[in-house]
Chains A and B, each alone.
Chain A
Amino acid sequence: DAKTTQPTSMDCAEGRAANLPCNHSTISGNEYVYWYRQIHSQGPQYIIHGLKNNETNEMASLIITEDRKSSTLILPHATLRDTAVYYCIVRVGVYNQGAQKLVFGQGTRLTINP
C-alpha cells in the first residue's frame, strides 16, 4: 500500500470548515483513499473513502486531485466534538479479495477551538 504524509497537527475555529490535507504521491491506480478518525482513545471511526471522484456524505467531503497524488478531507462546519486524530490511509481497492488490513500512520491531530 502507498505511503501517506499528513501534517502532525492543525487547529480550526468552531463553526469554520476544517480542511485536512494528505499526500499520497505513490498511489497506484487500484488504490483507494480512506479517512478514519480516532476521538480520544475510542476505536477508529470510518469517515469517507474515494477512488478518483470527489465524495460527500453526512460527515465530510473528500476532494481528490486529478493526478490522485493528494487529497483533502473537509469537515464543513467543525464542532468541538470533531477534535480527534484523523488518519488518511491508502489501500488496495475494496473489491479485491484478501485481508484488506488498514495500515495507520500517525495522522493529524485536529483541535477545534471555541
Chain B
Amino acid sequence: EPEVTQTPSHQVTQMGQEVILRCVPISNHLYFYWYRQILGQKVEFLVSFYNNEISEKSEIFDDQFSVERPDGSNFTLKIRSTKLEDSAMYFCASRRGHQPQHFGDGTRLSIL
C-alpha cells in the first residue's frame, strides 16, 4: 500500500539555524499538509497546500515557516530560524480528491 514517507526520522539542530523537513506524499495525491505534535500534547494543524499554493495556515505558521513543492514528488517544510519551542514531531499528510488524509510517521525535530 502506498505510504507518505518523511525524512529524516530525527533532526537535531542548533537554535537559530534553518531546518528543512522533507516529505514524499503518495504519488497521485494533490492536497498536502503539515501538522506538528509537541511532546505530550495534541496534534496541531500547521498548513495545507494545493495547486502550488497555501490553502490555509494556522496561527503557528508564522513568517519563520514556509512550504514548497520543488518538484513533482517532494513537499518540504522550512523553518528559517529555529527556536527551542519548535521542538516537536512534524507530520506530513496527503490526500486525493474525496479520500481521507494519510499521514507519514513524522520527523522528530530537536532544537538545542
Interface positions of A (Cβ within 8 A of B): 34, 38, 41-46, 49, 87, 94-95, 98-106
* Cα-based distance from A104 to B46 in the complex (angstroms): 12
Within the complex, the shortest CB–CB distance from A47 to chain B, in Å, comes to: 9
Structural contact, B42 and A104, CB atoms closer than 8 A? yes
Knowing A41-B106, A44-B43 are in contact, say whether A98-B55 is a contact too (CB < 8 A). yes
Interface positions of B (Cβ within 8 A of A): 4, 31, 33, 35, 37, 42-45, 48, 50, 55-56, 89, 91, 93, 95, 98-106, 108
* Cα-based distance from A98 to B98 in the complex (angstroms): 11
Structural contact, A44 and B45, CB atoms closer than 8 A? no
Interface of A is mostly: loop
Q: Which residues of A contact B104 (CB under 8 A)?
A: 43
Q: Which residues of A contact B37 (CB under 8 A)?
A: 41
CB within 8 A of A43: which of B95, B99, B103?
B103
* Cα-based distance from A42 to B35 in the complex (angstroms): 13
Structural contact, A42 and B105, CB atoms closer than 8 A? yes
Given contacts A99-B48, A100-B95, A102-B93, 19 further A-B contacts (CB under 8 A): A41-B89, A41-B106, A43-B105, A44-B93, A44-B103, A45-B103, A46-B100, A46-B101, A46-B103, A94-B100, A95-B98, A98-B55, A98-B56, A99-B50, A102-B35, A102-B43, A103-B45, A104-B43, A105-B42
Within the complex, the shortest CB–CB distance from A61 to chain B, in Å, comes to: 16
Within the complex, the shortest CB–CB distance from B90 to chain A, in Å, comes to: 10
